Amino acid sequence: MDITSLTVKEIEARLAEGEPSLEFLQACGQDKRGGVQRLWRKFQREQTERSRVKALYMYEHTALAEGAELVAGVDEAGRGPLAGPVVVAAVILPMDLFLPKLNDSKKLSPKARDVLYDEICEKAIAMHCSIIDAETIDRVNIYQATMNGMYEAILALDPPPQKVLIDAVRLEKLPMPSLSIVQGDAKSASIAAASIIAKVTRDRLMVQYDARYPEYGFAQHKGYGTAQHLKALKTYGPCPIHRRSFEPVQTMVNG
C-alpha cells in the first residue's frame, strides 16, 4: 500500500478511527517521514497498553460467563502504617472499560493514580469507600477492621454486585458469590481500580492530617514507620490518629 500521498494529519485521522488494516500499519511503519514514524510508534504503544488492560478483565469475564454482569473489585490501603485510618474501596467498572495505565496502585506514580482516580470516579457503575479510624483499629484489630470495612463498602454499592473479587481476603458472609485473589490488585481490573480509589483517598486524608499535626510529617510518609516518623514519635509522642495497638506506639503509650 502506498500512503505517500496522504498527509501526516490524514494518517493520524486514519489511525484514530479505530482498527486500521495490517497493510496500512505496515505502510506506516515503512514510511520515511518522521511524523508518520512518531504516529506509528504511538499507535503501537497504545495497542500494547490496550491488550495489557484487556487481559486484566479475565476474572470479570469468567464471572460474566457465570451470569454475573455486575462485578465488584475490593481492596484496601493502610493496613501497615502506625497512624491514620485503613481505607477500603469497592468498585464496579463497566466491562472492558479501557483505563490507560490501570494497575496495582503501588506500581503507579502519585500523578498517574490521581488521573486514574478521577477517571474511575467518573466512569464507574458504582463505587464506595469505607474509612475505619485508628480508634476502631485498636479496638477490634487491623484484620477485623479491614474485613468490616470490606463488608461495609460492598453492601453500600448501588446497584449491588452479582459477584465480588477481593484482594487476598476471604469474606464468607457476603450475600453474593465472591472470589479471593492473591495479588488481585495486579490481576483484576476491578480490584486494581479499588486499590487506586483506596490509596488516593487515604493519601489525601493523611495530607489533611499533616496540616493538623505538622510535626509528624504525615504528608511525606502517610503514617508508615519511616525514620522521619519514628524520630517524631520519640520527640513528641503519639497524637490522636496513632494506632496505640501497633509497635512501637504501644510501648510508648504504656511506658
91 and 32, same domain (yes or no): no
Average pLDDT over residues 49-78: 98
Q: How far apart are CA 11 and CA 24, in angstroms?
A: 9
- The C-alpha torsion from 208 through 145 and 200 to 190, rounded to 10°, is -160
Residue 18 pLDDT > 80, yes or no? Answer: no
Q: Give the confidence band of 19 by pLDDT, cuts at 50, 70, 90.
A: confident
Q: Are residues 180 and 201 in the same domain?
A: yes
Asked if 112 and 169 sit in the same domain, the reply is yes
Query: b or e along 170-180 (b: 16 or more beta carbons within 10 Å of the residue's beta carbon)?
Result: eeeebeeebee
1 in a domain, yes or no?
no
* Residue 99: pLDDT over 80: yes
> Which residues are CB-neighbours of 62 under 8 A, at least 6 positions away?
none
Q: Could you tell me the end-to-end alpha-carbon distance of the chain, in angstroms, rounded to an integer?
A: 79
- Could you tell me if 78 and 181 lie in one domain? yes
Residues 131 and 183 in one domain: yes
**If you average pLDDT over residues 88-109, what whole number do you get?**
97
State CA 28 to chain mean position distance. 36
- Tell me the percentage of the chain whose pLDDT exceeds 70: 100
The whole-angstrom separation of Cα 68 and Cα 60 is 9
pTM over 0.75: yes
Indicate whether 158 and 142 sit together in one domain: yes
Is 185 found in the same domain as 101? yes
Q: Are residues 68 and 185 in the same domain?
A: yes
Q: For 40, list phi and psi in degrees, rounded to 5.
A: -65, -45
> Looking at the structure, do residues 62 and 169 belong to the same domain, yes or no?
yes
What's the confidence (pLDDT) of residue 255? Answer: 65
pLDDT band at 62 (very low <50, low <70, confident <90, very high): very high
Q: Specify if 253 maps to a domain.
A: no
* 153 occurs within a structural domain: yes
Domain presence at residue 180: yes
The count of domains in the chain is 2
- What is the arithmetic mean of pLDDT over 14-32? 89
Q: 141 and 110 in one domain?
A: yes
Cell of 66: 457465570
Note whether residue 247 is domain-resident: no
| 232 occurs within a structural domain | no
Domain that holds residue 85: 58-207
Q: Give the model's pLDDT for residue 253.
A: 85
- Asked if pLDDT for residue 35 goes beyond 90, the answer is yes
Boundary-marking domain end, from 170, 188, 207: 207
What's the confidence (pLDDT) of residue 154? Answer: 98
Q: Three-state SS for 57?
A: coil
pLDDT at 70 > cutoff 70? yes
Residue 224 counted as domain residue: no
Q: What is the mean pLDDT of the chain?
A: 96
pLDDT in tens, 227-252: 999 999 999 999 999 999 999 999 98
Q: What percent of the chain has pLDDT over 90?
A: 92
Model confidence pLDDT, tens digit, residues 195-228: 999 999 999 999 999 999 999 999 999 999 999 9
Q: Assess if residue 233 is contained within a domain.
A: no
Last residue of one domain, picked from the residues 54, 73, 91: 54
Residue 169 shares a structural domain with residue 143: yes
Residue range 42-52, pLDDT digits in tens: 999 999 999 99
Q: What is the CATH number of the domain that holds 143?
A: 3.30.420.10
Q: Do 203 and 78 reside in the same domain of the chain?
A: yes
